[in-house]
Structure 1
Amino acid sequence: MDHVLIVAALAVMVLVSAAENRVERERRRVQGTASAGEGHRLDPYELAYLSGGPRRALNTALALLASAGAIRVSRGSRVTAVHGAPPSPVPLEQAVLDALAARPGGHQASALRRELESHPALTGLAAGLERRGLIVRQPAFDTARRHYGLLRLAVGGAAGYLVLVIVLAVAGVAGKETVYIGAVFFSLFAVASGLIALYRQKRRLRNVVTGQGREVLRSARAHHPRGVRDPRSLSLALGIPVALYGLTESGDQLLCDELSVGAPGADCAGACGSFSGSDGITFGGDSSGGLDFGGGSSSCGGGSSSCGGGGSGCGGGGGGS
C-alpha cells in the first residue's frame, strides 16, 4: 500500500501537468499561425478593435464624432445627433449616426453599443483582422477547449485522490506516516497546480489576439506613444490614442464619465490592461493597452469641425503600425 500511494500521487501530478501542456501546445499552435500578409497598416478602428474589441471601436467612434461636433454626449449618458451634421465616409461612424437618427430623443450609450455590437460595420472589422491573421476565430480554439475539458477532469481526479488518501489515513490503512504525508503532499501539489493551470488557460483561451496581432499593437504603441498627439488630423490626434489606450486619452473627463455609465467595471481613472468583453473574449494582447475608460479634463462633445470632411474628419485617416 505504501508504494502504491506514492506512485499514484506522482502519476496524478504528471497527469495534470501533461493535460495542461496539451492545452498550451494547441493554444500556441492556433495563436502562432502565420498571418496572411506582409506587414499591416491599420486605421484607427481596426487598431481599436484589435486593442479592445467592439466596445473600444464604438467608443473610438463616439469620441471622434463628439469631438467633431456631430454628436452630443450629455449627462445621464444620453447620446444625441447634432442637427445638420453631414454623413461620414467611415462605415462605423455612419452606423452610429444612423442609429441616432432613427431615435430623435437619443440613445443611452450602453444601449447604443448593444444595438451596434452585431452591425456589419463591426463584424466587417473583425473579419478583416481575421483574414490578416491578427485575431483568431473562436472556433479555432475548439480542440484546445476539448483539451481544457480533459485538464478539468485531471484536476478533479487529483482532488478525488487527495480525498481518498486522507480517508485511508483516517481509517488507519494508509501505511507509514512518512508515506502518507508524501502522498498527501504530491496530490495536494497536483490539485493546487491544476487549479492554477485551469485559471491560467481559461484566461489565455479568451485572448483572441494572435502573436502577429500583438506585434502589430506593440509597433503601433511604439509609433504612437501614450500622451503624444499628432495634430495633423483629428484621426491622428484623437482617434489613434483612444483606439490604442482607451478613453483615458480622449482629453474629455465628462465624455469618459458618461460613456462609462452602465459598463461593468468601468473606471475613468485610467487603469491599464487588456479588455475583456461581456462575452468573456479578451482583446488587447498585452498589458500595454488601456481600458475603455480613462481620465481627461475638458467638457463633453466639444469641437467645431464638421464630421467626415478633410483632415479633421471623423476618424478617416489611417494610423501606421
Structure 2
Amino acid sequence: MDQPWGLSGPEFLKIYWIALGIALVFAVGVRFRLRASRGGEPARGLDVDELAYLAGGPRRVVEASIARLIEAEALRSTRRGTVSLIGKPKAVNAVDRAVLEDAGRYSRRTLNLLVPAVAQEKAVKDIATRLGELGMLIEPATAKRHLRVGVLPMVVLFVIGVVRWVNGIAIGAPVGWLTLQLVVTALLAVLLSRSGSIRCTARGDRALEAARSGDRVGELGLAVGGTVGLVALGGLSAHPDLTLRTALMAQSYSTASSGGGYSGGYVSTGSSCSSGSSCSSSSGSSCSGGSSCGGGGGCGGGGS
C-alpha cells in the first residue's frame, strides 16, 4: 500500500511541521485579537465595584461590599467568620442591598455561604454586563467561540496526521516522529482552546493597573484608596485592620466553595487562602486566620 498524497515520510513530516507552525501563529493571533480593545475610549472612570470585578470577579465585588457595610456600621463581624446586621441599615447600591438582604435572613450569616450566594445575584451580574459594554471584559461564550475557530486549522491538521499515521501502521512504515507530531498538535489544540486565562481586554488590564498604581490614565481608571479600595483590589486579606481581617477570614470560605468560579459573570477564576498564621482577637483568644489570600488573580494577572 502506498503512502497517501504521494509524499515520502520525511517530506510529509517537514510539511507537517511547517503547517503546524502556521496553525500555531493563527491560534495565538486569534487570542491576541480577542483581548484587543474594542470601540472608543470609555466616557467615564470605573467605580470601586467595577474595579473589584476586574480584580477578582463577582466574589471580590461581594467582599468589597462587606468591607463597605462594616465600615458604615451596617454589618458587624465575629471572630467565627460570620456577619450580622446592625439595626435596620439602608443600602447605597444594589450590591450592598443584596448583601444586606442575604445577611438579614439569618441571625449570623457565615461568609462561606454569603459570598457565593450574593455573587450570583443580578446586581453583580449587571456589573459584568457594564464592563462588557465598556470593552473591558470578555464574555465566556464569545471567548470560547473565537478560540475554537483559532484552533480549527490545528484540528484539521491533526486529522490529516491521524490518517497518515493509520496508513503508516498498515504498511509497516516507521511512525515515531509522526506520533510525536500528533501528540504536540493535540496538546497545543487543548491549551489554546482554553479560555480560563483570558479575563479582560487590554483596556481592562490598563484600567486595573491604573487603579493599582494610583494613577489616572485618561478615563481608563480611577485611583482608589481607603479600606474598601484596598479590599476591592486585594481581597479580604488586604483589609488594614488586623483583628477584623482575621475575623473575616476565620472561615476559609474561598477554599470551601472555590468550585463556583464565575458562573454568573464574564470571567472564570478561583481563589485560595493559606492559613498558618495566627493572631489574637480583641478579646484575647487566638484564632487561626489566613494572613495571605490569593483573591482570584484578576484581569491584571490574566494574560493571553
What TM-score do you get using the length of structure 1 for normalisation?
0.66
**Aligned position for 1:167:** 169
Q: Which residue is equivalent to 1:117?
A: 119
Report how many aligned residue pairs link the two structures: 265
For structure 2, the residue ranges without an aligned partner over 5 or more in a row are 216-223, 283-304
Matching of residue 223 in structure 1 with residue 214 in structure 2: yes
Q: Work out which of the residue numbers 243, 253, 264 in structure 1 matches 2:258.
A: 264
Cα distance in 1 for residues equivalent to 2:70 and 2:280: 11
C-alpha spacing 1:198/1:297, structure 2 compared with 1 (3 Å): same
Supply the AA of the counterpart residue of 1:217.
L
Kindly report the root-mean-square deviation, in angstroms, between the aligned alpha carbons of the 2 structures.
3.9
Tell me which amino acid in the other structure corresponds to 1:87: K
Structure 2 counterpart of 1:221, one-letter code:
R
2:247 aligns to what?
Answer: 254
Deviation at 1:77, TM superposition (A): 4.0
Sequence identity, in percent? 22
Offset, 1:239: 1.4
Decide whether aligned partners of structure 1 residues 97 and 61 sit closer, same or farther in structure 2, where only a CA change above 3 A counts. same
Q: Equivalent residues in 2 for 1:87-106 (5 A)?
A: 87-101=90-104, 103-106=105-108
Q: List alignment gaps of at least 5 residues for structure 1.
A: 175-179, 225-234, 266-274, 285-289, 302-321
Q: Deviations over 1:212-254 (max 9, x none)?
A: 1111111111117xxxxxxxxxx72211122112222113123
The Cα offsets for residues 131-178 of structure 1, whole Å up to 9 and x where unpaired, read as 21111223333541432562673475377368548736xx7x32xxxx
Q: Give the structure 1 partner of residue 198 of structure 2.
A: 207
Alignment pair present for 1:188 and 2:192: no
What is the Cα deviation at residue 58 of structure 1? 0.9
Task: Report what 2:11 is aligned to.
Answer: 7
Where in structure 2 are the equivalents of 1:1-321 lying within 5 Å?
Answer: 4-38=8-42, 40-74=44-78, 77-82=81-86, 84-101=87-104, 103-141=105-143, 143-147=145-149, 150=152, 153-154=155-156, 156-157=158-159, 160=162, 164=166, 167=169, 173-174=172-173, 180=174, 184-185=176-177, 187-189=179-181, 191-192=183-184, 194-203=186-195, 207-223=198-214, 236-251=225-240, 252-258=245-251, 259-260=253-254, 262-264=256-258, 277=262, 282=267, 291=271, 293=273
Rounded Cα–Cα distance in structure 2 between residues aligned with 1:219 and 1:242: 16
**Taking CA–CA contacts closer than 8 Å with sequence separation of 6 or more, which of the two structures ends up with the larger relative contact order?**
1
Q: 1:153 to 1:34 in 2, by over 3 A?
A: closer
Question: 1:51 and 1:283 mapped to 2: Cα distance?
Answer: 12
Normalised TM-score (structure 2): 0.69
1:79 is paired with a residue whose SS is: strand
What is the deviation of 1:39? 6.5
